[in-house]
Amino acid sequence: MAANIPMPAVESPQQSGEAAPGLGTNPPPTAAVIAAAEGVNSEILEPPVENLVPIEWRGDARVEWLREKVTTALDVTRPVFDTVFKEHGGEKSLFSFLDKRSSCIVFWSDTRTVKVVTKVPIFVEYTPEEIAKRKQAAAAAAVAAAEAGANAGTSQVESPIASQEEEKGYWETQDVVSMTQNQVVCSTTGKLPNEVLNRPVVYFINIFPQQGKLDFEKMHRFLEFGVLPSGPTLSTLEQLLFHLFMPILAREGIYGGSKFWRTEETHMMEYVGNELLSNMQRFLSQVSIAQQHLLGDAQLVIPSLPADCLDKTDIDYELILQLESLLADWIPAIIHAVEVESVKVSVNLNVNMRFLTI
């Protein structure tokens, strides 16, 4: 990977025909410096892109099945899902759910702050004092070389380029630290953390955990899965009842002997199951009605009044006309809502009385 190294475009003395630039100009780095800089710049001290799935889990069709469902539900990529194996307790929860007798596993996405250290090449200029010392040392070395050449009987002439070109500094690498947010996937077979309650959570429930290891061919039959809605609201409760508990109770009558029953008496299982399912349906209906009431069967338009409308001494006829128009719409809506609610209350009282007398 080629590195983007900010290098000034310096014109050589042969091309310009002029003397070398002043002290403020940085000489171009040599080929060795560029190669070293490219090699170092591409070395980012962050977790490399690798296969995070342990060898024993690679090629497992059950993991691939879970990965497909979770990535779709949480809208994450496959590499992000694979981070579950590196998260605390992630691999253990998968092993407990797929190969042991855990009845439930949940997945959710989170972020981790990671420190990234990048080595970047920079040019360090010499100070004027250092440049003067280097010139003196170079002059002394040239004199010594000339004397040595004279003693040897040979003449050594310094090239114009070498005599005019002066080093203004040196290249070195510097660590640049930055913080980045990486998305990860977490899982657990136990209690869901409180900070996750307001996030989408994917659940998988094994109806028959007592059978031990979960086979891939049975995952579609034995597993109930879906997305838990976020937040403790009536909408959340309604979705849980309708999409989670109701299907489980309905399947109890089809697959007898699951973990929810402690008896082998068929008639008792059927009686208790039907009664529980009936009560659950009734409770779901009440939750739906309550949610509709909260959402509002009758909606009233509330105007935005000026903050100083009550402090004004002058009569605002425009505001009065606006309120009168809204009041004309409120009165029939309120009368209709009161009539509807009074009928619902009387009906619910009669139903509850009949239920208590049974």
pLDDT in tens, 143-169: 888 777 766 655 554 544 434 345 677
Q: Dump pLDDT digits (tens) for 277-301.
A: 888 888 888 888 887 777 666 677 7
- CA 118 distance to own-chain centroid: 23
H helix intervals, 165-230: 219-222
Cβ–Cβ < 8 Å for 145, 156: yes
Q: Which of the residue ranges 1-5, 57-61, 337-341 would you say has the lowest mean pLDDT?
A: 1-5
Dist CA 236 CA 231 (whole Å): 7
- Give the pTM: 0.51
Give the pLDDT of residue 108: 93
Domain residue limits, the chain: 13-46+117-179, 232-295, 300-357
Give every CB contact of residue 70 below 8 A, 6+ residues apart in sequence: 76, 81, 107, 185, 202
- pLDDT of 31 above 70: no
Mean model confidence pLDDT for the chain: 73
The mean per-residue pLDDT over the stretch 11-38 comes to 43
What per-residue confidence (pLDDT) applies to 251?
A: 66
- Nearest alpha carbon to residue 206 among 120, 106, 331, 84: 106
